[in-house]
A = this chain, B = another copy of it.
Amino acid sequence: MPREISSERLRDRFDRFNEIGATDRGGVNRPSLSDANRRARDTLVEWFEEAGLTVTVDEVGNIFGRRDGTNDDLAPVLVGSHVDSQYNGGRYDGVIGVLGALEGIETLNDAGVETERPIEVVSWSNEEGVRFQPDMLGSGVFAGKFETAFAYGLEDKEGDTFGEELERIGYKGEAPCEPRDLHSYFELHVEQGPTLADAGLSVGVVEGVYGFIWFDAAFTGSADHAGPTPMHLRHDALVATSDIIEVVRRIAGTEGEDLVGTVGSLDVSPNAINVIPERVDFTVDFRSSDDATVDRAAERVREEIDHAAAREGVAGEYEQIMRIDSQTFDPDCVETVAAAADALDAEYTRLVSGAGHDASYLNGVCPTAMVFAPSVGGVSHTEDEFTEWDDVVTGTNVLFNAVLEQANEAPGADSGSES
């Protein structure tokens, strides 16, 4: 029989937590290392300690809360997500994964249940990447993808650095941030896409994460007066860019079944009604479960940037700023999640995540899997983000039982990292 968490306690904490940085339109505004993010972290640390967890903050601000196992020589099961938000983002994104993990600990405490392995709850630093890029920074440093010094040097738009701001809010910890022995990692998160909600399902058993590529691109032409400059003498950076926006849309429909492509950010200079655009800086994002498809799409856009530049008589440039291979989660961990969903009679499907998560990096450190809760309308990264509470509870129960199962798994019976 599966154990079940307390819906009331989780709801109470969820509501109180989301008073921090609450917006008028029902969302939260807690971007990384903001004052609201500090208050959210303070509240988490307080609740971790109340639950008897031993709190450690590492040098990039990841917060760990450890519950000892009966055999503390065994590698712990790690479970969590993040509590930073988009600017005016939603209440569920990240939050349910951290508070859900904590709720599992409380449930074990209430029942007086001990586990063989330690369980650690984690809140990763700077997952959203809206203030400091790249996103998933804390888990990326933890997984050895970035150096700590690189993280400290990142600047926001005001020129404040990640290191200074981390120190300012009191979360530059002393524990090293580096890969260490973990038995496994589990994360509950909202889907941020429409699959589960459209199908009326409560749970997604996540088998992996799309690979993706990001690049910055730009065209530079001539900023002439929009009146007296004849069409044939123009070198309009925005006209060239519009070709690429169309191409990104078209490639996404032709190069691969699950390929998605987006031009999300675009800045025009000088951006005046009567001046031909001299320069446009824009971004391209491609994702697919198939890495070769992502690479093919990126290569085609690079070619099209050259073609558009030639047609319009402007200079084109592009720089790859991120490339993460698709992730396939550990089959044993994935089956543990599916078994927990089965035991709870939850209606679920298996799917691959289009969004990146801290679990993407953790998958390189230890066996990993994720649980998805539905996003109504597929909406996320806005104040309108919503998940039915019953689905939050079901997802939390699946997470809890999967973690409990793994935390009692004997050494040697898994693909974990104990020597």
Contact = CB atoms under 8 A, between A and B. Distances in A.
A264 B276 contact: yes
Interface stretch (A11-19, A108-116, A188-196, A329-337): A188-196
Interface in A359-379: 378-379
A55 to B, nearest CB: 31
Given A249-B239, A356-B227, A265 B260 contact: no
Among A130, A212, A275, max chain B CB count under 10 A is at A275
Nearest to A249: B239
Interface string A107-149: 0000000000000000000000110010100000000000000
A223 B382 contact: yes
A3 interface: no
A283 interface: yes
Contacts of A86: 270, 272, 275
Interface in A6-37: none
Interface in A205-232: 210, 212, 214, 222-231
A288 to B, nearest CB: 10
Contacts of A214: 273-274
A250 to B, nearest CB: 10
A355 interface: yes
A120 B190 CA distance: 71
Residues of A in contact with B, size category: 35 or more
A343 interface: no
A228 to B, nearest CB: 3
B194 A380 contact: no
14 contacts: A130-B272, A192-B225, A193-B227, A194-B228, A210-B227, A223-B382, A224-B378, A225-B355, A226-B264, A231-B252, A233-B378, A239-B249, A264-B275, A265-B272
Interface of A: 86-87, 129-130, 133, 135, 191-195, 210, 212, 214, 222-231, 233, 236, 238-239, 241-243, 245-246, 249, 252-253, 258, 260-268, 270-278, 283, 285, 287, 353-356, 378-382
